[in-house]
A = this chain, B = another copy of it.
Amino acid sequence: MKQRITIVDVARQAGVSIATVSAALNNRSGVAEPTRQRIVTVAERLGWSPSLRGRSLSQERAFTVGLVLQRESSVIASDPFFASFISGIESVLEHRGYALVLQVAPTRTRAFERYRRLAADHRIDGVFLTDVSVPDPRFELVQDLGMPAVAINVDPREGISTVRQDHERGIAALLEHLVDLGHRRIAHVSGPKDYIHTRQRENAWRGVLAAAGLRASTPVQEDFSLAGGSRAAATLLARRSRPTAVFCSNDLMAIGFIAKAAEMGMSVPGDVSVAGYDGIDFGAYVRPSLTTVTTAPHALGELAAKALLGMIEGQTASHVDTEPATLVVRDSTGPAS
């Protein structure tokens, strides 16, 4: 790295003080227009733009926000949620001069440590909290640090911002679709049970079954991965009284489930209907194509970023809901056999 041009060079070349240069380039009032013009011209000629380091130090801000993914690598790799969510975040940060620091941690504990270090280093001004668990120690952490934070898909709560996409209506529509097709034994493949979204989806499933007067069997608990879905299929389809339909807590597991079912010689949806949750692109390209509930990770990312930057710049915590997730019927669900 060469680059040695600083505000001092610009000030000298423009024949003004560095204070004036600073004011001019930050569009602060109190700078005569001709002066500003001259300064801008010189800055451009020299190819100068203020160093974030100096600015960071004096403003006590990093102009950076953080996201730590806490998932096993097998899930992270295949799950399109994050890429979309991140590009949503990015589309907002880009125009506001902020950058995203992304970290990945294999376990929740490790992720927690990384959040802690990001804060200790003063590397970031705020954080995104995804994959919230109950209880989630990160809430206390950000509270203690007084660090702006936005949590995804949780109910509104004190002190932090929240962004949420309603899952209930979409899941209700999905299950009603299955009930309408004549299904009575509708099983559920859930995720790790301390994730809040695992609970949300499971509860929605229970709610609809109860409303329809159907009995909810014990969910098969898996890990949100393709392999997990396959394991669930092995378990569920071997039962003497097997379900005629299965609602998987995410698309990855649903796809894994379908693959295993085929391998076991079962037809989907002939022998068993399978549905997922998320609405990943892949769902449209597997055979049979996947009935699911589509979510909007990009929009969540955008809203989350806006909320976070708002907090960083002094606004109070907010809560916002996006459009509810919606049912998409494809070929993996059909009449009960």
A contacts, CB < 8 Å to B: 1-3, 47, 49-54, 56-57, 60, 62, 64, 73-74, 76-80, 82-84, 86-87, 90, 94, 99-104, 114, 118-123, 125, 145-147, 226, 230, 255-256, 258-259, 262, 280-282, 284-287, 289, 298
Contact = CB atoms under 8 A, between A and B. Distances in A.
Contacts of A73: 83-84, 87, 298
Given A53-B62, A90-B103, A259-B284, 17 more contacts: A1-B60, A3-B119, A47-B120, A54-B57, A56-B57, A64-B101, A73-B83, A73-B87, A78-B80, A83-B104, A87-B104, A90-B102, A101-B102, A102-B102, A258-B285, A259-B289, A282-B282
A259 B281 contact: no
Contacts of A54: 57
B64 A53 contact: no
A1 B146 contact: yes
A226 B86 contact: no
Contacts of A145: 1-3
A73 B51 CA distance: 30
Nearest to A85: B77
Nearest to A289: B259
A3 to B, nearest CB: 7
A76 B301 CA distance: 15
A83 B83 contact: yes
Contact of A287 (B78, B83, B259): B259
A285 B226 contact: yes
A51 B121 contact: yes
A83 B90 CA distance: 16
Contact of A146 (B2, B57, B256, B262): B2
B1 A125 contact: yes
26 contacts: A1-B125, A1-B145, A1-B147, A51-B122, A52-B62, A53-B57, A53-B62, A56-B56, A57-B57, A77-B80, A78-B80, A78-B83, A78-B281, A82-B83, A83-B104, A86-B102, A86-B104, A87-B104, A100-B101, A102-B102, A258-B287, A259-B284, A259-B287, A259-B289, A286-B286, A286-B287
